[in-house]
Amino acid sequence: MAASEEHDSTAEAPETAMEEEETKTFKDLGVTDVLCEACDQLGWTKPTKIQIEAIPLALQGRDIIGLAETGSGKTGAFALPILNALLETPQRLFALVLTPTRELAFQISEQFEALGSSIGVQCAVIVGGIDSMSQSLALAKKPHIVIATPGRLIDHLENTKGFNLRALKYLVMDEADRILNMDFETEVDKILKVIPRDRKTFLFSATMTKKVQKLQRAALKNPVKCAVSSKYQTVEKLQQYYLFIPSKFKDTYLVYILNELAGNSFMIFCSTCNNTQRTALLLRNLGFTAIPLHGQMSQSKRLGSLNKFKAKARSILLATDVASRGLDIPHVDVVVNFDIPTHSKDYIHRVGRTARAGRSGKAITFVTQYDVELFQRIEHLIGKKLPAFPTQDDEVMMLTERVTEAQRFARMELREHGEKKKRSREDTGDNDDTEGAIGVRNKVAGGKMKKRKGR
């Protein structure tokens, strides 16, 4: 019964995709001239499918559920209507954007500021891992747009004097499925209680889960659903491969692939913070410019890693799933699933870091004897059988000795780093980027040292 009510309460977006294909400019969608110019400056020549569907409805004042795969231009789909409305009725604390991860919050803020630079839009990013006091000061200035992770926002709503969202006009939940997966449900409920009922709400999500449907009932009024692809799928221009290997040779095969595809930029996904750090050290010891990004690093270190990678000062970013959602780094050529994701849907998000905005890219998934079932689930989800990535096994085995030695040094460094952290709890550990922790790399047999930029 619930399902049918659910369906009734959600009007589908009219089937105008064919006509809409003709209207190729933001102006045709109803976006004001100033913002159209901003889009031009950002190089957004024509709207994406989700923008073509969502923007006209949002400008009419409808609540929207946007279902679109990662890399499809969702941020523009909610930022443009909000800035359009802000121009018509300027007011402070106008919109709130909730996101699951800190990095995504900073990225959304960058897009809002870039689009609104000519109209003086002010944003505040409210996330954990950063000093609350400076955030309270930013909120006291009453920015137009607040971009926040739910936990830290609740903290400010409860403890920051004079800060409230009673005048809020727009609420956006980006990556709503992930917000709820990370168990922010109670925080989201609290936030919904203290913001005006009379507001516009946009819910954007890559997948429609039961939790998202529940949230939709609680938060949206007569919404329109804009679904660009309801089936889980990966981008057409993405070449996907798997590599079936014994678990003990994973490191060696990783080094082989980095050598084979040298000259590309890589994102390598690991399942734990510890493995991310270990693999980063291992690769550094072999002379690769690798940099880690995981939840145990301080926020400034996380942003530092991301910025070095974005600026191409590092060619390899090793990350946990903290980086699998929504981060837009245009130049990622290859995604390697070093540890296979336990949730098949995370595979879609990870490989969505490459082949963005019409470019091509490669994804290689390592499958060991323990991962066969997980891999079959992924193939079932995306509805295709993946080909094996071609390797020369004898060449791989020639690397074993050097890799084994580098593994030993990486373990030593991890141990030293752990002891240092224990010894000085007040020192936040400046080795998060592990660049200072590599006195031993020189000792690795034949480890080719590359000159590092920006040391």
Question: How many CA atoms are closer than 13 Å to the CA of 140, on its beta-carbon side?
Answer: 9
Q: What share of the chain is helix, strand, coil (3-state, %, to 5)?
A: 45, 15, 40
Domain holding 392, by residue range, is 238-443
Domain end: 161, 194, 227, which one? 227
Residue 228 is predicted with a pLDDT of 74
Q: What is the CATH number of the domain that holds 373?
A: 3.40.50.300
Compute the distance between CA of residue 232 and CA of residue 303 in angstroms, rounded to an integer. 30
406-409: long-range pairs with CB below 8 Å, 24+: 406/282, 406/285, 406/286, 406/444, 406/447, 407/251, 407/282, 409/281, 409/285, 409/440, 409/441, 409/443, 409/444
Q: Establish if 452 belongs to a structural domain.
A: no
Specify whether 171 is located in the same domain as 275.
Answer: no
Which conformational region is residue 183 in: left (phi greater than 0), alpha (psi within -120 to 50 degrees), or beta?
left
Quick count: other Cβ atoms within 10 Å of Cβ 303? 17
Specify whether 164 is located in the same domain as 32.
Answer: yes
Specify whether 204 is located in the same domain as 252.
Answer: no
Q: Establish if 263 belongs to a structural domain.
A: yes
The order of strands in the sheet holding 238-244 is: 238-244, 361-367, 334-337, 266-269, 316-319, 290-293
Specify whether 167 is located in the same domain as 249.
Answer: no
- Are 256 and 402 contacting, i.e. CB atoms less than 8 angstroms apart? no
Q: Establish if 184 belongs to a structural domain.
A: yes
Specify whether 405 is located in the same domain as 314.
Answer: yes
Specify whether 188 is located in the same domain as 337.
Answer: no
Q: Establish if 33 belongs to a structural domain.
A: yes
Specify whether 284 is located in the same domain as 403.
Answer: yes
Specify whether 181 is located in the same domain as 250.
Answer: no
For 32-41, what is each residue's pLDDT tens digit? 999 999 998 8
Residue 36 is predicted with a pLDDT of 92
Specify whether 213 is located in the same domain as 135.
Answer: yes
**In the chain, how many domains are there?**
2
Mean pLDDT, residues 285-289: 92
Q: Establish if 450 belongs to a structural domain.
A: no
Q: Establish if 341 belongs to a structural domain.
A: yes
Compute the distance between CA of residue 297 and CA of residue 430 in angstroms, rounded to an integer. 10
Residue 14 is predicted with a pLDDT of 47
Residue 183 is predicted with a pLDDT of 72
DSSP track, 200-257: EEEEEESS--HHHHHHHHHH-SS-EEEES--S----TTEEEEEEE--GGGHHHHHHHH
SS3 106: helix
For 171-220, what is each residue's pLDDT tens digit? 999 988 888 777 788 888 899 999 999 999 999 887 777 777 877 777 88
